[in-house]
Amino acid sequence: MLRHYRMFAAYNRWANAQVYAAAAELSDLEFRSDRGAFFGSLHRTLNHLLVADRIWMKRFTGTGEAPMSLDAVLFEEFDALAVARKAEDERIIGWTGTLDETSLAANFTYSPVSQPIAITQPLWTALSHLFNHQTHHRGQCHMTLTALGKPSLGLDLIYFLRSEGREWM
């Protein structure tokens, strides 16, 4: 399982870089245009992904900032958002590198932002959610880009494994 999660952390960084490279080509109007994704625009969806990652990483590590709202806009400007995304991706990679099988199997307790109750589950299940959540919303980013008439992105895990992710094969 450790290798699996470390691969997903590397894939996450790679896929985010693909989305951010495409977003960098947009005008500010396009970047902020509501195209029907859950959070509306690419601007708000990318902010949500960073918000959620910070919330989960605060839960996992006990350090860092954890916004109190899932729709918080942490960065209005794309460049600052891109810098923060890169830093968070490196943080996720670094943290997954510290895990062992015992910590993955151990119970983990947290309170969701949406309801003040304690939830206990094995850490590996919460970590699986973190990466699945990223993939889910990156799909919405992809949809937003194509709705803006931009080229489709190849974000499949297999594309990562055949390029920068060959070490995981």
The per-residue pLDDT for range 47-91, each reduced to its tens digit, is: 999 999 999 999 999 999 899 899 999 999 999 999 999 999 999
The per-residue DSSP string of 101-156 comes to HHHHHSEEEE--SSS---EEEEHHHHHHHHHHHHHHHHHHHHHHHHHTTPPPP---
- 88/55 Cα distance (integer angstroms): 11
Query: In this structure, what DSSP letter does residue 40 have?
Result: B
Q: Which residues are annotated as a binding site for a divalent metal cation?
A: 48, 133, 137
Q: For 3-31, how does the pLDDT look when each residue is reduced to its tens digit (9 = 90+)? A: 999 999 999 999 999 999 999 999 999 99
39, 123 in Cβ contact below 8 A? no
Where do the domains of the chain lie, and which CATH numbers do they carry?
A: 1-168 (1.20.120.450)
Q: Which residues are annotated as a binding site?
A: 48, 133, 137
- The overall pTM is greater than 0.85: yes
> What average pLDDT does this structure show over 78-105?
98
Confidence of residue 123 (pLDDT cuts 50, 70, 90): very high
Confidence of residue 105 (pLDDT cuts 50, 70, 90): very high
